[in-house]
Amino acid sequence: MANESFELTNELIEQIIFAMENQKEKFFLDPAVPSIVSKSAEGTGNRISPLYDLPDWEPSDGYRLMEQFVLNLRNPVYREHLSSILHCGSGVFRKFKDALNQRPDIERKWFSFKELNMKRRVLDWYNILRLEWGLDVWEEDFNGEYSPVLTDFSIDLCREEQLPRINRMDRDAFSEIYQSCPSDYISDLFRRFRDGFEPEISEESRIFLAESPDGEIVGFVWITAEVLEKGTVLGRIRQIYVLPEYRGLGLAEKLKEKALEDSMLKSCSFLEIDVPAGAEFIMNNLIQYGFKKNSTMLVLSQNAD
């Protein structure tokens, strides 16, 4: 029987991927239809062309794909969490799935990543067949399958009932920066740094929140404006913070842009932002907007190791 070619449609790709992941039964592709047939139905009917084996896909392939996804995940907290699951020894696939269920944004990214790579596996298999048929290699760009994760998050003004959460996050942000310092020093530094101010909603104080698709507050930017004694209007970006597990998505940049575009800050004569040690990347980014470095605070710890 002569080999019979077939067209690889999107629908057929989905059927092939579904069959590849089925570890309980063997499947083939019938080029005459074309369609997927199981091994149990292989011998039925009068067949005029041979069946094609589907691309190999073992549990080890799925595991390697998960490893690759975790390695390239830009979220440091969840990257470490998923990595520990991959090395837990048993129930890896179920635990990995359950962990992703807790983070719909990362779960969607995983589905896109997995689909993209499996489509490429199918395409490689199909092109080997095309060469056997004496046809040119079929090129298809699957890069468009990714959906930007950043667009899953919304930026909105803070509501009054959300302020307690923002106040806790503001303190957490400060403690994270100075985590190597004694707690009483952190408290004193925070008190001096805030100088009686705390996140609030008023004509001179605005807070923009970054919220996940399920409504969780994952970051915020707090801005204020005040009129000095001679009439100069001073604007301050008092805090930009994103939860560690949501970093690497561009949320801090999105919050900063929202703040700088706000009419309250645009009406100010000067803008200030305190950049803590370890966050020099923020300062370098702000310099591109025209900010200039104005001061630096140095701290000497005289405690013996």
Domains of the chain as residue ranges with CATH: 10-53 (no CATH), 59-147 (no CATH), 151-287 (3.40.630.30)
Other C-beta atoms closer than 10 Å to the C-beta of 10 total 9
* pLDDT tens digits, one per residue of 148-206: 357 778 899 999 999 999 999 998 888 888 888 888 988 888 888 777 778 899 989 99
Amino acid symbol at 50? P
Element holding 123 (H helix, E strand): helix 104-132
Q: Give, in order, the Cα–Cα distances in Å from 191 to each of 12, 161, 183, 184, 198.
A: 63, 24, 12, 11, 10
CA-nearest of 207, 205, 202 to 155 is: 207
Residue 77: Cβ-neighbour burial (10 angstroms; 0-12, 13-18, 19+): middle
| Ranges under pLDDT 50 in the chain | 1, 44, 144-148
Q: Quick one: pLDDT at residue 279?
A: 63
DSSP 197-225: -----BTTEEEEEEE-TTS-EEEEEEEEE
Which pTM value belongs to this model? Answer: 0.57
